[in-house]
Structure 1
Amino acid sequence: MTDSRTGGIPHQVPKGSYGVPLRADEWEEFSPGFGDNSHRGHFGEQFIRMLAAAANIDAAQRDRDRVGVDWQLGHPRRSGGRRYPVIEAQVKCTSSPELHDDHIAFDLKTRYYNELAGNDYDIPRFLFVVLAPADPFSWSDATPERLLLRNAAYWACLHDQKPVAGGTGTRRVHVPRGNLLTADTLHDLFSPNFRAMVGVS
């Protein structure tokens, strides 16, 4: 049966008992891994993708996590003296941040820390930390006027840090709270200053 309000497309009846949409506590039961670490991590990565889309930045996800990079981001125009510069980012998402007045204390596995620390890279790379509510039902909220994603993302650059010996344990990273990631500040990360830190003009 077609519906003139949808341009002739058959009207979609909501799923659920007797045509009633499923409640959150019902669809959660049939959603494997809902709210677990993998789900949270995926939300964090897509949070970054949405910011990149809003900033008109190209975002390509790495097929394999072998070098500590989740996203490669490309600028569509010139930044400084270089055309189409790129940066790389490792994304972490947490619902239990340790917040301080001027920074977020985040314990990063030593392996991941070493893949961000130092300046012997061809491409500037960053740590993006996404803060998400503990309740996954509040991660997003949509109305006809807007889509809201909670809560926020912050960035840190570890080019001035040195890798540490060994690949076990964790390394505490201080992510400045002033480094809020927005569409505007995402463009700032393509600054020649970060390329200079890794020896790329």
Structure 2
Amino acid sequence: MADSRTGGVPRQAPAGAHGAPQGSAPPPQWAGQVEGFGDNGHRGHFGEQFIRMLAVAANIDASQRDRDRVGVDWQLGHPGQPGRRRYPVIEAQVKCTSSPEMYDDHLAYDLKVKYYNQLAGSDYSVPRFLFVVLAPSDPFTWSHATSDRLLLRNAAYWVCLHDRDLADGSGNGKGTRRVHVPRANLLTVDSLHGLFSQQYQDMVGSS
């Protein structure tokens, strides 16, 4: 059974000034001087930048929305190849959590109906996805930098809701809708490119 505080996310030792775990060492002095360190806004921003880093590694352009009114955080695209569909684009809504409900084959995430309805259905110009980033509850362990690598913890998963009906038949319902995100849908450089495939274009009005 997953730990209720971490949702199965491995516990990490607090990190020192360079992001390296240091057992039970006290947090660095700067931590108390940075307003909002580790709060929900900080966690959400970490999740969005986690996706940006994956996109950069995949050589995919990531453009952030200026205004939060259309239900997506990132528009992702790349040039494509001559002789095939050029300049393909997808969009993603990003959520970051430190307390997911983890099961053998999926994780459960309660998404506000407003946001659910901005992803469900097929009445869109481009495919949309939900990206759920899992981060440790301790913000000092979100990253670990050494001279030869930068490690970001822990992982991101994706799900497509274009085959689902709206939660209440409108765009602004109240409450939440539970989304089951397959654990097989680990977001990687390869799987991120896979989201540009024709099967997702065929699910929306862009086909």
Aligned-residue offset at 1:49: 0.2
Structure 2 gaps of 5+ residues are 1-25
Q: Secondary structure at the match of 2:133?
A: strand
- 1:148 to 1:45, Cα distance in 2 relative to 1, 3 A: same
Check conservation: 1:130, 1:153, Cα contact below 8 A.
yes
- Structure with the greater alpha carbon radius of gyration: 1
- Report the AA paired with residue 178 of structure 2: R
- Which digits, 9 at most, give the CA deviation of each residue in 1:22-46, with x for residues without a partner? x733111101001000000000000
Higher normalized helix content (fraction of residues) = 1
Is 1:174 matched up with 2:180?
yes
Check conservation: 1:44, 1:92, Cα contact below 8 A.
yes
- Report the AA paired with residue 176 of structure 1: P
Is 1:125 matched up with 2:128?
yes
Cα distance in 1 for residues equivalent to 2:43 and 2:98: 8
- Give TM-score, length-normalised by structure 1: 0.86
Paired residues in the alignment total: 180
Q: Secondary structure at the match of 2:32?
A: coil
- Give TM-score, length-normalised by structure 2: 0.84
Cα distance in 2 for residues equivalent to 1:24 and 1:32: 15
Q: 2:27 aligns with which of 13, 24, 29?
A: 24
Q: Secondary structure at the match of 1:32?
A: coil
Which residue of the partner structure matches residue 192 of structure 1?
198
Q: Secondary structure at the match of 1:83?
A: coil
Paired-residue identity, %: 73
Quote the RMSD (CA, aligned, Å).
1.6
Which residue of the partner structure matches residue 140 of structure 2?
137
Structure 1 gaps of 5+ residues are 1-22
Check conservation: 1:62, 1:70, Cα contact below 8 A.
yes
